[in-house]
A and B are shown apart, each in its own frame.
Chain A
């Protein structure tokens, strides 16, 4: 297969948007090679599918974590859909790109819509913002102590 054939195969396999993404990755690899790693080099979409590799050197811990993780997200007092929305909010509070990818998909697959998912993100934003703001009381306490 010639280069044109290979290129056509890639276009067909990944589609125009997928191709653009692959070209982006290629440029990134080029940049890393010649200019050193950048922030975005640490978060690759395909790494999410490699999550289980973390169990290679500590399989028992991974198995226990996996069992616990699975049990947490089972239907209980909260529905699977509610738990996925909580996880989506937490993912934003933690600013974890992998978790955002995973729980956006999970939320859709549990039947949530964009209105509900956006509200979940606002809950995370409100708690993060509130957490910063409530520390203002500490600031006021210190300022009060230091001031006449």
Chain B
């Protein structure tokens, strides 16, 4: 049953990446992504420098969300070591990458999280923490909000809807209530408050097999409802499309929505979104130091290719800044409608 443990812990067939890639490649029932690109006059996706280094510091998480593209959870033990983090820092010293985006799992659960943030900030780079909110309410992580504020870390927090029932349906019983508690802590520390310089963004993603709304429209709803119901303020809402991989793929198949969801993504393919996808300016690093074009490719084991290095130990600015991106059927997730990225819609 989804939501109780990771696919890996349940020995689910989708946990075998080769099998999952086969399902994604053959069972979605829509034309190859590369064909859609070609029809839009795009030969292949190519990077345009590296503006964001996204480091996935581990798959461990205190939640087991039903849509998780990482297949993260409390039972996942893959965690980035300090040695691998040092390799990331060395790469940052070699190339002026302005943004370091920390993700997981719950990135804060990595024992070296605070050390890494301090080192990256010392290099003068902007840091984003992709936070699940509930981690901030656990006694073990007390003082985390103050730490993030002290280091001017931008917090991008998951809150798929402003109503508890729907948030809990995706993220687990009681998650919404604890998320609201965490948002109050962040607001109290200055996050989301005008002129504080502490940025708090929220992430909307659909609680089911449909596309997200227009970002500006749902942001206005969040702003009105969260203020009215809970007195919460924030900076922006980012809309992110659910990616048809890992646990969301499991949900799609089990609910009988997989072919129709893929048709929906395919029908909404937007060439402008394809020209602006986040992977064109990103380098994604796995917990073991392996290199990918994005966090989704990372979860599917699709390494950087076409002559680019595959591990952070072999970091090569020249070959990584101008590389061809590895694509697949899941890429329809980032190119549907207004597009989707870790920073929300693309237009």
A binding-site residues for B, Cβ under 8 Å: 9, 12-21, 49, 79-81, 105, 108-111, 113, 115
Contact = CB atoms under 8 A, between A and B. Distances in A.
B161 A113 contact: yes
For A12, A19, A81, A111, the residue with the greatest tally of chain B CB atoms inside 10 Å of its CB is A111
A12 B255 CA distance: 11
A14 B256 contact: yes
Interface of B: 23, 27, 29, 161, 163, 166, 204, 206, 208, 210-214, 217-218, 221, 252-259, 263
A20 B212 CA distance: 28
A17 B257 CA distance: 9
B27 A12 contact: yes
Contacts of A14: 253, 256, 258-259
Given A12-B27, A13-B29, A14-B258, A81 B253 contact: no
For A9, A12, A17, the residue with the greatest tally of chain B CB atoms inside 10 Å of its CB is A12
Q: Which 4 A-B pairs have the closest CB atoms?
A: A18-B256, A17-B256, A111-B213, A15-B253
B217 A109 contact: no
Contacts of B258: 13-15, 18
Contacts of A17: 254-256
A93 B217 CA distance: 27
A19 B27 CA distance: 14
Given A81-B213, A109-B213, A113-B163, A18 B259 contact: yes
B252 A80 contact: no
Given A14-B256, A15-B255, A108-B208, 16 more contacts: A12-B253, A13-B29, A13-B259, A14-B253, A14-B259, A15-B253, A15-B257, A15-B258, A16-B256, A81-B213, A81-B217, A110-B214, A111-B214, A111-B218, A113-B163, A115-B163
26 contacts: A12-B23, A12-B27, A14-B253, A14-B256, A14-B259, A15-B253, A15-B256, A16-B256, A17-B255, A18-B255, A18-B256, A18-B258, A18-B259, A79-B217, A80-B214, A80-B217, A81-B213, A81-B217, A105-B210, A108-B208, A108-B210, A110-B213, A110-B217, A111-B204, A111-B217, A111-B218
A75 to B, nearest CB: 8
For A80, A105, A109, the residue with the greatest tally of chain B CB atoms inside 10 Å of its CB is A109
A91 B254 CA distance: 29
B258 to A, nearest CB: 6
A20 B254 CA distance: 11
For B161, B210, B252, the residue with the greatest tally of chain A CB atoms inside 10 Å of its CB is B210
B263 A49 contact: yes
A34 B212 CA distance: 44
Nearest to B207: A108
B211 A109 contact: yes
